[in-house]
Chains A and B, each alone.
Chain A
Amino acid sequence: MTELLELSKIEIKKGNHYRLRNIELSIHSGEKIALLGKSGSGKSTLISVANGSLKPSKGIVKWQGRNLRSLSRKKKISIGTLWQDLRLIEELNVGQNINAGTLGKRNLFWALRNLLGTIESRECISCLKAAGLPKEMLTAKISQLSGGQRQRVAIARLLRQQAKLILADEPLSNLDPKLSQEIVSLLLYQKTKYSISIPKTYLISLHYPELINHFSRVIGLKNGEKVLDRSTNNLNPKDLDWLYA
């Protein structure tokens, strides 16, 4: 399997407190990794470091062997993030928000045109449908959507980005079990939907370990340190009890 992302000796320190300490992690193409840990264990920080939005105090992040910091913006598109707070832009409608996923490939004029109305609507509708929303929702305002619908719009934006690796920060924490199952099935089991290709490599942080059977590998964080890295098949339930103790 090709190595996509590599985190080497990552350290994030705030005052005397380590938010991440000596993290070594490789993510290979096709892996579906569950990132586990209690609140405050460093899951969100790790995801921010992995997508380049947070600079580590020490260590290096590499994308396909090249330093993430010096990566061209065209390459950065390959890493997609589903943020815990979704980060949808309330002032834009659903379609315009979905298009925001492709801003890395666009110039300023395209970005300005998107602020006048939804462009490339056919592609947006495909992403919307793939995320399980009706096409009529394309022009809806973000403020009119329910929590679950917002989550799906954020996924549609991610699908529009056509990333190779998806980093998701507790995407299922505020969803009911049925919706969680639907999103897991869309992200982890589908290859294409409505002619949209679904990425095949994931690092998804989960607050509770109920859904880990859907993943191929489990990584556990405790107090900012990686304390567990095992394939799901070899996982011992006691490890999880210790992780959450």
Chain B
Amino acid sequence: MIPFIKKRPPFSLKRQPGFGLIAGLCFVMLYAPIITLVVYSFNAGKYISPWEGFSLQWYVAAWGNEAVQDATMRSLFLAVQAGIYSTVLATMAALGTTRTRPFRGLMAIYAMINQPLMVPEIVTAVALLILFAMIKSLTGIQGMFYLVIAHTAFCIPFAYLPIRARLEGMDLNLETAAADLYATPWKTFWRVTLPLLFPGIIAGSMLAFVISLDDVVITEFIKSSGQETLPTYMLGQLRRVVTPEINAISTVLLGLSISVVCLLFFVERRSRK
């Protein structure tokens, strides 16, 4: 006779007591504020709370607000430029760090490229403020490009990481095969490496775009007067009076971010098929 052995289920985190509760709490903490924000953007009242009925008036107000329009255009202009420049630079950096023989100091270069992820943003902000002030006083040149340079710089690691991951996951034999089939190094890059890298580039540039769009600290420090971006404008508004207009703008920004993330996910899935 075979003795009956009670089968014990394998260890699973899901079965631990309190798992559901903790998970639920985490989700509430993550999403309750956002839901509140979105709900109150439709508040008819003049103040953020209490609820005084449904209305789209704050969306209309924000849409018609010239300062908001101005800041939005500037934010988009800045994010698009920073996104493009940082992606190009990050692509070159990723090629340089994955398509060469490992060399001395490669780890140091990784660290240097990823510096903005590790150095507190406030430090970068102050440093840039001082540097740009010196350049401005020396040359007298003013303009948006200080912001563009700053945003490009701190967006690089966000663009670099997905691009490098994609390059490292790529079958090196494909480039060898292209060379074997008479492709020059340049043709190999255009016909094989770049098309296969494209999903990584899209992911990297989207991430850079969102990061730039969202930045407050560095922008707040180095912007000149009249260079409000949407986040710094909102911060400025909060100091004076808080109206649901802020909620409305935030909700639109949230929508934009979600669309970008969805697009990113879609591109990723298609490239994996």
Is chain B found bound to chain A in the same assembly? no
B residues in contact (CB < 8 Å) with A: none
